[in-house]
Amino acid sequence: MTYSYISHLYCPKCSKTYNTSEPHHLCTCGSPLLVNYDLEALSSSWSKDSLRDRNPDLWRYHELLPLQNPSYRVSLGEGMTPLLSLPALGKDMNILHLDMKDEGVIPTGSFKARGAAVGVSKARELGVKELAMPTNGNAGAAWSLYAARASITPTIVMPVDAPKITRNECAVSGARLFLVNGLISDAGQIISRAAQDPDIYDVSTLKEPYRIEGKKTMGLEIAEQTEWKLPDVILYPTGGGVGLIGIYKAIRELQRLGWVENGRMPRLVAVQSEGCAPIVKAWEEGRTESDFWEGAETMAFGINVPKAIGDFLVLEAIYESNGCAAAVSESSIQEEQQRAAQMEGTFVCPEGAAAFSAARQLRQKNWIKEEEHVVVLNTGAGIKYPDTVDLDIPVLQPGDALKRKV
């Protein structure tokens, strides 16, 4: 039995192809590389029925993942997160069918675990001993923990302002961790220079082709969880955009396998903060690439990416799916985080809250219709960002009596 139907890597810009037996990074033309599968062979040997007896984790889709030898698999049980119905919040937004794909319950506390599980497994299969990456926090945390499980040494550089808990996740797993007085783009430049050492495998966003394959599984799961019908709209908080590119790629592959109706594609929405919205600006101007966003700042740290290397792929996914891009205010992120907790009992991360805020905004503009099926990606756990909640709590003295609110 073939574990993976991977065939080769290809460049989405110049179509050059590469093998999958050696480490590769960007194409010689500077573009990220994508993974191709032999979908024709796969379609005749794989059926939906074969999924029935598999574990509820992302490896259930191993035929559509790049790892060729399962003995290199590095797993903490990631994947098959709940697709949770949110009737009260939906009603509040006047969206009748609102679901949340909840990545807050995944190992390491964010969906970055998916990219790390597949990326680290493939790195191990390729014989990698040391890896390095810039991060806004969650990716570094996930890759550090998975690398520890794979006995690979990680070097991580993150902004001093990144969420503190993610530092701890890197440090406790034994990563070489550095803070930079700047943005993720500054961390990226430092890593690029370090990775000129051939022993260091650069796993910066989209500089290795396999992370996206892990994130792709969110799209596969949404398809399976909707019984291959797919929602009408998927909203995704977009930083580097890997998740959005991955979801789009997943659905295209399922179309070609004949597992979802041909031509059935949810409208994909890239959500950003008004404090850092390069993709939104490019989309509003009808362009196919984005400009560097000066002075980027948002509490939704995972989407604080002033220029994404895969921006053209994000924009392509938006245009091809008849989707859109939307920016939301910082205050609306906090409000939506509170509403989700108060109405539904779910403590979403600020990035996820941004996506809920965009859903509300797009419903108000009637871009989303009342009866449409809407899926919002909550990309991480709210408990990783304790400082996003403003507190004013009364302190009692021993023996004090409580007053009932009047």
Ligand X SMILES: *Cc1c(COP(=O)(O)O)cnc(C)c1O
With CB under 5 to 8 Å by kind, the binding choice for 324 among Zn ion, ligand X, none is none
With CB under 5 to 8 Å by kind, the binding choice for 172 among ligand X, Zn ion, none is none
Runs of H (alpha helix) within 195-277: 211-225, 242-257
> What track of x and - describes contact with ligand X for positions 282 through 311 (by CB under 6 A)?
--------------------xx--------
Q: Which is nearer to Zn ion, 33 or 233 (CB)?
A: 33
Q: Which is nearer to Zn ion, 137 or 310 (CB)?
A: 310
> What track of x and - describes contact with ligand X for positions 250 through 269 (by CB under 6 A)?
--------------------
User: 98 with 376: CB under 8 angstroms?
Assistant: yes
User: Is position 239 an interface residue for ligand X (rule: CB under 6 A)?
Assistant: yes
Least separation in angstroms between residue 215's CB and ligand X is 6
Among 140, 209, 237, 323, binds ligand X (CB under 6 A): 237
**Stretch 344-363 residues interacting with ligand X (CB under 6 A):** 349, 351
User: Is position 112 an interface residue for ligand X (rule: CB under 6 A)?
Assistant: yes
Return the sign of the alpha-carbon dihedral for residues 59, 61, 65, 68: positive
User: 69 with 3: CB under 8 angstroms?
Assistant: yes
With CB under 5 to 8 Å by kind, the binding choice for 264 among Zn ion, ligand X, none is none
Distance between CA atoms of 230 and 219, rounded to whole angstroms?
9
Residue 9 CA to its chain's centroid (Å) = 21
Q: Which is nearer to ligand X, 42 or 317 (CB)?
A: 317
With CB under 5 to 8 Å by kind, the binding choice for 31 among ligand X, Zn ion, none is Zn ion
**Stretch 35-64 residues interacting with ligand X (CB under 6 A):** none
Q: How many other C-beta atoms are found inside a 10 Å radius of the C-beta of residue 147?
A: 29
Strands of the 233-237 sheet, one edge to the other: 83-85, 97-102, 373-378, 233-237, 267-273, 324-328
Stretch that binds ligand X, among 117-125, 150-158, 241-249, 315-323 (CB under 6 A): 241-249
User: 376 with 360: CB under 8 angstroms?
Assistant: no
Strands (E), 103-261: 130-134, 153-159, 176-180, 200-202, 233-237
Q: Which residues make up the interface to Zn ion (CB under 5 A)?
A: 11, 13-14, 16, 27, 29, 31
Closest by Cα among 4, 3, 1, 6 to 24: 6
Contacting residues for 195 by C-beta, under 8 A, at least 6 apart: 132, 201, 202, 204
Binding site for ligand X (CB under 6 A): 110, 112, 138-139, 237-243, 302-303, 349, 351, 379-380
